[in-house]
Amino acid sequence: MSTPAGGEAVPGSGQLEGELEGQLDQRLEDSQQAVLRNSLVMAAGTVVSRASGFVRSMLLAAALGLGLHADIFTVANTVPNMLYILLAGGVFNAVLVPQLVRAMKNDPDGGAAYLNRVMTLALLFLGGITVLLVIAAPQVMDVLLSSAYDAPEMAEERQSAIDFARFCLPQVFFYGMFVLVGQVLNSRGRFGPMMWAPIANNVISVAVLVTYLFVFGPASSSESHAGFTPGQEALLGIGSTLGIAAQLLILLPYLRAAGVRYRPRFDFRGVGLGHTLRLGAWTVGFVIVNQIAYTVVVRLASGGTASDTDGTGITIYSNAMLVAMVPHSIITVSLATAILPRLSRSAARGDLASLTGTLGSTVRTALVVVVPFAALMPAIALPLAHALWGHGAAAETYPRFVDPLILFGFGIVVFTVHYLVLRGFYALERNRLVFFIQCAIAAVNIGVAIALVRSTPPAQTTSALIVAYITAYAVGALLSVTLLRGQLRRRRRRSRDATGVGASWVGFTVRLLLASAAVAAVSLLLRIVVGDTIAELVVDPGWIWSAVEVVLVGGGTVAVYLTTAGVFRLTEVTAVTHSLLSRVRR
């Protein structure tokens, strides 16, 4: 029995505590199931979007190859893509969702006036910055392109990059508004549209690339290290921007269906936006630091393909990341988007036990997906690269993807931990601390990337940059977990249960590593068996047989993992599986 301050035992208090703990455990379980249900809605859209995105990636490699020719277009697309990633996980997601939830809860009009002011500010800011970027396209490319592009013999390639930038930079406005409108829908519990809308972009991109292949054909070996014609630039550049505009337009009817009636408002002073902007200042700093680091990565990568015909660069880097991000995009991003409003509500009412419980269970749920994925990648990297990119202009160079795919598989594990733990900081409005964590990550990434790229041949440029990425986010994950533990400990609540250091976490980690070791061993064995069987049956197996190999090895390994997860009592795997099957049945 427990005793009060005076030391006298209180009859029945132990039973009461047990009942309260049982109720809390039930609330956490119900909360996890609700998060999984919302996540599956988003994950379904992400799966279809990613599938269409891979078709786009395949066609782009078939049309442009994997060398300098492809890097010119990819670098020009870097600024809008980079801003999209940073806005989606930064300014709008991290700052606006918590503030919108608070405004909906506390304002008499349900946050309508607050939302109108925020959207008006966003329109003005994004419109202005887009115009400035288009005007300054040559200067933007000077920052992103390696000094190798300054050589007189590279004048044509440099001009193609500038022309592409002018066509692609208007995407900044459409990306920004897409993220803002999507987060408004998320704050109102409408998670699906933002995940499904990018399919429209991919469909348009696929149509543009098919047209490009039909009109211009795949790049020849001589063209793979050259610039583009004006017609090629216009088709690819304008087509890319139309796709981004389409995914924004698709969200607008859902915004109206969610009850949002936008009316421009310019009365920004004295209405509570100052608090949001103060929080946003640190997140903007986060964005700037991230941009600096990624700009260095892009500049170093552009030098890899510009200095050697066998060099690897940003095209391989970005496409390898596209594959590695599949489990992150389907599971982690969906989970993070679903839990952020819940975490914000828990923080607003001071219920840190609920906050830490939700965050801890979400991290474990993500890890039971991304860690086995990393263990599987060494077995399937080569046939996967052949199936995805072994076509057209990239038919002979696709093996360059193998090492980057394997490395990025492990990089996403540490990134996932860091990414999810940051949701806790955002919910607690500790944006300044997030900024300093990101400064450390950026510094490590830049320092290691410069050192490794300078000491490796151009053919290893992409791999060197990914090792720098892994190192940086390993540091970031360690910092974010440690500092969040400190934040929660100072609030004298159950930090041990949700910050990754309790006995339950040690046991979970050991069980997950054992299950993942089984995944690695089984996948390599299956790869040998399936690969030898195909080699005996087919004289010259093409990319279709590589796709069959990926399906057989991957499918067999997943079946073994599900069985192993039951043996090692990884209940998070069971929860994800049951939620997925119930959703499919419905």
What number is the average pLDDT over the span 273-287? 66
**% pLDDT > 90, the chain:** 37
Mean pLDDT over each residue of the chain, to the nearest integer: 81
Q: How confident is the model at residue 585 (pLDDT cuts 50, 70, 90)?
A: low
Task: Encode pLDDT of 302-350 as tens digits.
Answer: 999 988 888 899 999 999 998 888 887 777 766 666 666 667 676 666 6
Among 74, 65, 50, 55, residue whose Cα is nearest residue 398? 65
**pLDDT for res 584:** 54
Q: Is residue 370 over pLDDT 50?
A: yes
Six token digits for residue 465? 């940059």
Burial (0-12, 13-18, 19+ Cβ within 10 Å), 6: exposed
Residue 504: DSSP 8-state: H
Least trusted range by pLDDT, from 100-109, 130-139, 233-242: 100-109
- 317: CB partners within 8 A, 6+ apart: 297, 301, 404, 462, 465, 466
Task: Encode pLDDT of 184-205 as tens digits.
Answer: 887 777 766 777 788 888 889 9
- 404: CB partners within 8 A, 6+ apart: 312, 316, 317, 320, 462, 463, 466
Is pLDDT larger for residue 236 or for residue 96? Answer: 236
Kindly list the distances between the CA atom of residue 50 and the CA atoms of 43, 171, 190, 330, in Å, as whole numbers in the listed order.
10, 19, 20, 9
Q: What is the helix, strand, coil percentage profile of the chain, to 5? A: 85, 0, 15
d(CA 59, CA 485): 46
Which 3 state secondary structure label does DSSP give 259?
A: coil
- Find the radius of gyration of the CA atoms of the chain: 25
| Domain map (residue ranges) of the chain | 25-585
Q: Is residue 39 over pLDDT 70?
A: no
Q: How confident is the model at residue 162 (pLDDT cuts 50, 70, 90)?
A: very high
Tally of residues, the chain = 586
- 91: CB partners within 8 A, 6+ apart: 280, 283, 284, 287
Task: Encode pLDDT of 232-259 as tens digits.
Answer: 999 999 999 999 999 999 988 888 887 7
pTM of the model: 0.80
Task: Encode pLDDT of 144-158 as tens digits.
Answer: 998 889 888 889 999
d(CA 428, CA 417): 18
Count of C-beta atoms within a 10 Å radius of residue 436: 15
Task: Encode pLDDT of 524-577 as tens digits.
Answer: 999 999 988 988 888 778 889 999 999 999 999 999 888 888 888 777 777 667
**pLDDT for res 328:** 77
Q: Is residue 90 over pLDDT 60?
A: no
Six token digits for residue 364? 């474990």
Among 266, 290, 283, residue whose Cα is nearest residue 118? 266
H/E segment holding residue 478:
helix 461-490
Buried b (16+ CB within 10 A) or exposed e, 123-158: beebeeebeebbeebeebbbebbbebbeeeebeebb
Is pLDDT larger for residue 46 or for residue 6? Answer: 46
Burial (0-12, 13-18, 19+ Cβ within 10 Å), 464: buried
Count of C-beta atoms within a 10 Å radius of residue 457: 14
